[in-house]
Amino acid sequence: MKIALIGFGAAAIGFIEKIKNTNNEIHIFEKSPDIYSSSISGMRADGKLFISKDMGGTLDIDLSLQKKLVEYYISYTESSQVERGSSFTNKEFYKKFYEKGFQPIISEFFHIGTDQLKEVLKNIYEYFKSFNNIYFHFNTQINDITVTQDKVLVNNVEPFDKVVVCVGRSGHKLIKTIITKYPKLVLDNTMVDIGIRYELPNHIVEELNQEMYEFKLRFKSRTGYMVRSFCNNPSGYVVIENYGDFVTINGHAKIKEKSPNTNFAILTSVQLTEPFNDPIGYGSYIAKLTNILAGENKVILQTYQNFKSSKRSKSIYRVIPTLDPKNFILGDINLAYPRRIIESIIDFIENLELIVPGCANPDNLIYAPEIKFYSNKLNNKAFENLKFAGDCSGETRSIIYATAHGYIIAEKFME
């Protein structure tokens, strides 16, 4: 078979790893100029891997496959140097958070680090490139996919026996084009996570960081919204994430270079009902509104005290931002965010303060927008020769789940 993969990210890596030793001809189309500048569909930053049945997506991924894929990525590091942690395997920590209304999430974590991840991805690429049946096409933008009776056309020109779209959440424009053409692909499209990136001194969460590295929590706020912590980065850095027509905030950590702060996301899960049908559009609108207030390609930074009292921050105190000052403006996030989301985030932080004193310090820092797009949940049974793997399918939200999804789709192609 002649197979096209659209995007070179976690899902594509899983797919190629499984199918590489077959007689299939594999073509990978990646919009970035080369492996060094590639976004790798969201994999370029941090390199956090985890093993868990409770997060990462809606697929049921066997724990043994998850462990195998974690070991796979670690094997491509230079010296197997990773930071490890276990979220809430300590029963005392679990009970302490549970008693205050939190739902602790149990998982194992492995942190490769942004600095080391670049080499891991380069090593994987060089290995794949050595196969005679694998062809990489960088600097190639795919704008359209057309399904015919027995082929799939890429950019309405080149025919393939099968196409697997692996563009991640950042490939939402291509996904929108495809689902507009084939609306039967959409199973569900009502979810979006809207929140903030929280930054505070390491010493406040030192015990949690040392015990778990990443603590995963869910909390049913008094507003009715479910709020969760996400992507904890001990001694990490806050960074900009550019979607092209708007920017959001994110965080990462490095293996060698460390900061005095910890950052993590606090996200409110919003599920809307009919006639709502565009979660990416809704989240994008809030992001763009925040960017308008902050200025071009900037985000808003606010102290927690001002965030809580709906006042613009004009100065900061003890916590020094790790985000480059040219990327933010001091302002008021309340002018861009719905109040119910603001109240949900405040409720999460105030209850966290009951267990971890200092989490609600007035000079802790809040950045916005942090938005995690749930891609439309797509029907992978709609077409035999067109599949969607990884985060763009709406089924996964992590490196390991996305990699496993690609791996499983390749397995089915080989049957």
Are residues 239 and 384 located together in one domain of the fold? no
pLDDT at 43 over 80: no
Banded model confidence at residue 39, pLDDT cuts 50, 70, 90: low
Closest CA to 27 of 19, 268, 150, 253: 19
Are residues 369 and 406 located together in one domain of the fold? no
- Would 207 be classed as within a structural domain? yes
pLDDT at 271 over 60: yes
> What range does the domain containing 212 cover?
191-373
Tell me the range of 47-61, 107-121, 321-335, 374-388 where mean pLDDT is highest: 321-335
Banded model confidence at residue 41, pLDDT cuts 50, 70, 90: very low
Are residues 176 and 257 located together in one domain of the fold? no
Identify the pLDDT of residue 273: 75
- Would 96 be classed as within a structural domain? no
- How many folded domains does the chain comprise? 2
Are residues 32 and 131 located together in one domain of the fold? yes
Identify the pLDDT of residue 38: 55
Q: How many CA atoms lie within 13 Å of 227's alpha carbon, on the beta-carbon side?
A: 26
Are residues 168 and 207 located together in one domain of the fold? no
- Would 98 be classed as within a structural domain? no
pLDDT at 45 over 80: no
Tell me the range of 44-48, 283-287, 360-364 where mean pLDDT is highest: 360-364
Give the strand pairing for 237-242 and 247-252.
antiparallel
- Would 161 be classed as within a structural domain? yes
Check residues 127 and 271 and name the one with the higher pLDDT. 127
The pair of three-digit structure tokens given for residue 227, joined into one six-digit string:
């709020």
Least confident of 33-37, 266-270, 333-337: 33-37
Are residues 386 and 406 located together in one domain of the fold? yes
Are residues 344 and 274 located together in one domain of the fold? yes
Are residues 65 and 140 located together in one domain of the fold? yes
Burial class (CB in 10 A: 0-12, 13-18, 19+), 232: buried
CA distance 258 to 276: 43
pLDDT at 44 over 90: no
What are the CA-CA distances from residue 302 to residues 22, 70, 311, 318 (Å)? 54, 37, 9, 13
